[in-house]
Amino acid sequence: MNSVKIEDLRKKYGNVNALDGLNIQVDSGSVFGFLGPNGAGKTTTLRILAGLAQADSGSIFFGSENTSKSGTDQKARLGYLPEEPAFYGWMSPREYLDYVGKIFKLEAKERQLRVDQLLEKSGLKEAAKRRIAGFSRGMRQRLGIAQALMNHPSLLLLDEPVSALDPAGRKEVLEMIEGLSSECTVIMSSHILADVERVCDTVGIINKGKLITQAKKQDLLDRYAIPALEITTSNGSASLMPEWKLRLEKLPAITGVTVEGYRFHLAVKDVHTSQQEVMQDALHHNVTFEKLEVVKPSLEDIFMQLTGSLK
Amino acid sequence: MNFITAFNKEFLEQRRTRKFLIALVVLVLFGMTSPLMAKMTPQIMTMVPGGEAFVGMIPEPTINDAVAQYIKNIIQFGVLLALVFTMGSITIEKDKGTAAMILSKPMPRGSFLLAKFTSLALTFIIAVVIAGVAAYYYTYFLFGQMNILNWITLNGLIVLYILVYIAITLLYSTLTRTQYVAIGLSFGTLIFLGILGSLPGFGINLPDALISNASLLMSGYPVTNWTGLWVSLGIIVVSITTAWLVFRKQEL
Ligand SMILES: Nc1ncnc2c1ncn2[C@@H]1O[C@H](COP(=O)(O)OP(=O)(O)OP(=O)(O)O)[C@@H](O)[C@H]1O
Ligand SMILES: [Mg+2]
């Protein structure tokens, strides 16, 4: 298995600092969740790890080897799923996987077995002989995951692996990733924090090409154990909700508000004060609610707080 | 060997996307019809209104006319197809991201590139060989015997000429972002070499000399200056090497 250490990685595109001295340590056998807002540098980092782009400076160590020395050797142990996997439209999934198997120098028999296995695993068995050109985005993503697993990689890089999948597919793939942690190190980037919260044991949050924090998921949740309030409003207040959201955001003890249907999720500085402020405001403006409860923070709250998406 | 793997994929791609078939049909059709067209030229002239007046001035077509017609057609359409087939070979793979998928695996970039060149080369070799056989048959039928060894050499030189433009276009396809810029540059090079070749005494050093040498051979003259052949081989090697050196460092 492979641990990955990234030291002071820098990468410029024109005058954009895509990576600005990134440091990350991914332990062997862990499932590392790579988080950050759009343009933070996640894809750039994964592309550099996959050998598709070169960093301007900095170093990467796989295990104890510096990558500058190993080329094809390292690639033989790598699995990579890009953000938008692309295939030869004239091929069928079976042909593509077979081609990938040949690149990894699998013997004919072993290759066929592995291809069948992956088609099954990715739910593409029915479509195995169809042309990839007609595939939906979700099907492409499934095939992308299958090809990344062909060589039983010891390091798997997944750039938003579940972004195109339907809820059932997402669940399947996440379970698969969870199951892989015994075989290989996984680095996966995602915007869907609930997914990361579910499968990753370690989380790294980056913004503007720099690591903001990296920790075991549980430590992170404990460390930033700022509780949150969750309010379920009653139907009658529906028309008042947008205004109320604006007012809630201005309250001093509240750091962030997200709305989902009739539910308000408030990140707060302090439970007591915020509770009082919210109730007072509701009273003054005739907002009624069905439920107000104190909840544990989610990764989303921490993420929003750390990446400065909040006030 | 990864080269073989990549080569098989490329050649399969050319068959599936019908590039192979198109090259074959076009070149073989021109191969077959070239002697026919040479033979028919006087008759065709009589069909053109007012053309009768010229009939007496057109000499009886000879084997050399058939060969000239063949060279002209195969070169024109062979090179055109070569440019069109090659222009997107790298740009499209980079743009779509298919290259990134494959090259993050243990597939050396040199093998990837060389497989593109050799598979296109094979397509045109097969197409020219069959076109050559067809043309030989029809020429024999309409005009009489040709020297087989010279005919084989002529077709070899035609293939080499086409390979020069495949290599050049492959280089442009590596250097540029879109296939249209790549084919534009290739046409530019074609025209530039044409102008250079028209400088007195200089043409013998260029790929175009392959064609003039081929005609000389067929008309029974000895060819003494083969500089154009070495220059052509040089252009192929330099183009592919440069493409590889650039492609090795490119971000995908
Ligand atoms: N090939 C490129 N050319 C120019 N700029 C680039 C290139 N690749 C990345 N960038 C820039 O680098 C920065 C980081 O991009 P990157 O794709 O790594 O972000 P990301 O974290 O993956 O974002 P997202 O969540 O949207 O996928 C962005 O500002 C982006 O515009
Ligand atoms: Mg990205």
Where among A166, A190, A217 does a domain terminate? A217
Residues with CB under 6 A from ligand 1: A 13, 16, 18, 36, 38-44, 83
Q: For residue A305, tell me if it sits in a domain.
A: no
Residue among A181, A162, A159 at smallest CA distance from A172: A162
Each residue's pLDDT tens digit, B28-57? 999 999 888 888 877 777 777 776 666 667
Q: How far apart are CA B249 and CA B239, in angstroms?
A: 16
Give every CB contact of residue A182 below 8 A, 6+ residues apart in sequence. Answer: A29
Give tens-digit pLDDT for A32-59.
999 888 889 999 999 999 999 999 999 9
pLDDT value, residue A236: 63
- E strand or H helix that includes residue B170: helix B148-175
**Which residues does residue A264 pair with via DSSP β-bridges, in sequence order?**
A231, A259
DSSP one-letter string for A265-296:
EEEES-HHHHHHHHHHHHHHTT--EEEEEEEP
**What mean pLDDT is predicted for residues A142-169?**
91
The reply to whether B197 falls in a domain is yes
Counting atoms of ligand 1 from 1, which one is nearest the CA of A42? 21
Residue-wise pLDDT tens digits, B141-165: 888 888 899 999 999 999 999 999 9
pLDDT of A243 over the 90 cut? no
Q: Residue A158: left (phi > 0), alpha (psi -120 to 50), or beta?
A: beta
Separation of alpha carbons A250 and A24, rounded Å: 36
Question: Which residues of chain B neighbour A100 with C-beta distances below 8 Å?
Answer: 102, 105
Looking at chain B, the whole-number percentage of residues with pLDDT higher than 70 is 97
Q: SS3 of A4, please?
A: strand
Strands A185-189 and A31-35: parallel
Give the 3-state secondary structure of B223-244: CCCCHHHHHHHHHHHHHHHHHH
Tell me how many domains chain A contains. Answer: 2
Q: Does residue A311 lie in a domain region?
A: no
Answer yes or no: are the C-beta atoms of A240 and A284 closer than 8 Å.
Answer: no
Cα–Cα distance, B86 to B93 (Å, whole number) = 12
Q: What is the distance between the alpha carbons of residues B100 and B94, in angstroms, rounded to a whole number?
A: 7
Q: Mark yes or no for CB contact B98/A76 under 8 Å.
A: no
Tally the C-alpha atoms within 13 A of residue B117's C-alpha that lie toward its C-beta: 27
Q: Is residue A260 part of a domain?
A: yes
Q: Which residues of B touch A86 (CB under 8 A)?
A: 96-98, 100-101
One domain, residues A94 and A12 = yes
The reply to whether residue A52 touches residue B103, judged by beta carbons under 8 angstroms, is: yes
Helices B109-142 and B2-16: angle between axes, nearest 10 degrees: 50
Q: How many CB pairs under 8 A join A and B?
A: 62
Give the gap in angstroms from C-alpha A71 to the nearest C-alpha of chain B. Answer: 8
When divided into structural domains, chain B yields a total of 1
- Of A192 and A187, the one with more pLDDT: A187
CA neighbor of A68 nearest in space, from A134, A9, A118, A139: A9
A213 and A237 fall within a common domain: no
Three-state SS sequence of A144-174: HHHHHHCCCCCEEEEECCCCCCCHHHHHHHH
CATH number for the domain spanning A283: value is: 3.30.70.270
This prediction's pTM: 0.85
Query: A287-291, B160-164, B169-173, B213-217: which has the minimum mean pLDDT?
Result: A287-291
In this structure, the answer to whether residues A185 and A268 fall within a common structural domain is: no
Domain end marker among A185, A217, A249: A217
Domain assignment present for B179: yes
pLDDT band at A66 (very low <50, low <70, confident <90, very high): low
If asked whether residues A195 and A239 sit together in one domain, one would say no
Report helix angle B179-198 to B148-175, nearest 10. 130
Which pair of structure tokens corresponds to residue B229? Answer: 């052949």
A165-185 pLDDT, tens digit per residue, is 888 888 888 888 888 877 889
How far apart are the CA of B104 and the nearest CA of chain A, in angstroms?
6
* Residue B252 resides in a domain: no
Q: Is residue B86 part of a domain?
A: yes
Q: How would you label A80-113 residue by residue, b for 16+ Cβ within 10 Å and e otherwise?
A: bbbbbbbbbeebbbbbbbbbbbbbbebeeeebee
Query: Which pLDDT does position A19 carry in this prediction?
Result: 94
Statement to judge: residues A10 and A91 lie in one domain: yes
- Is residue A309 pLDDT above 60, yes or no? no
At B49, phi and psi to the nearest 5?
Answer: -60, 130
**Ligand of minimum distance to the alpha carbon of A47:** 1
Which of A34, A35, A44 for a ligand 1 pocket mutation test, highest count of atoms within 8 Å of Cβ? A44
B236 located within any domain: yes
Q: Best interface-test mutation with B: which of A12, A13, A49, A52 has the largest number of B CBs within 10 A?
A: A52
Provide the residue range defining the domain that includes B28.
3-247
Let me know whether A237 and A211 are in one domain. Answer: no
Instruction: Compute, in angstroms, the gap from residue A159 CA to the centroid of ligand 2.
Output: 7
Contact A72 B13 (CB under 8 A): no
Whether residue A204 lies inside any domain: the answer is yes
- C-alpha distances (whole Å) from A60 to each of A26, A42, B121 are 11, 15, 40
Task: Give residue A178's identity as a one-letter amino acid code.
Answer: E
Q: Do A77 and A167 belong together in one domain? A: yes
The pLDDT score that the predictor gives to residue B224 is 80
Task: Inspect the interface and report whether the beta carbons of B100 and A86 lie closer than 8 Å.
Answer: yes
Same domain flag for A45 and A177: yes
Q: How far apart are CA B155 and CA B152, in angstroms?
A: 5
Residue-level pLDDT at A310: 45
Q: Residue A52: its chain B contacts at CB < 8 A?
A: 100, 103-104, 251-252
Residue A236 and residue A176 share a domain: no
Chain B residues with beta carbon closer than 8 angstroms to that of A84: 97
Q: Do A243 and A124 share a domain, yes or no?
A: no
Q: Residue B92: which pLDDT band, with cuts at 50, 70 and 90?
A: very high
Q: Which residue has the tokens 């046409």?
A: B187
Do A82 and B5 make contact, defined as CB atoms within 8 angstroms?
A: no
Tell me the average pLDDT across A229-239.
75
- With an 8 Å Cβ cutoff, are A87 and B9 in contact? no
Residue span of the structural domain in which A151 resides: 4-217
Residue in A closest to B104 by C-alpha: A50
Cα–Cα distance, A279 to A266 (Å, whole number): 13
Q: Which residue has the tokens 């209104």?
A: B49
Interface touch A103/B101, C-beta < 8 Å:
no
**Whether A196 and A235 share a structural domain:** no
Structure tokens at B78: 């062979």
Domain membership flag for residue A31: yes
Q: Does A58 lie in the same domain as A161?
A: yes
The phi, psi pair for A307, rounded to 5°, reads: -90, 10
Contacts with B96 from chain A: Cβ below 8 Å: 86
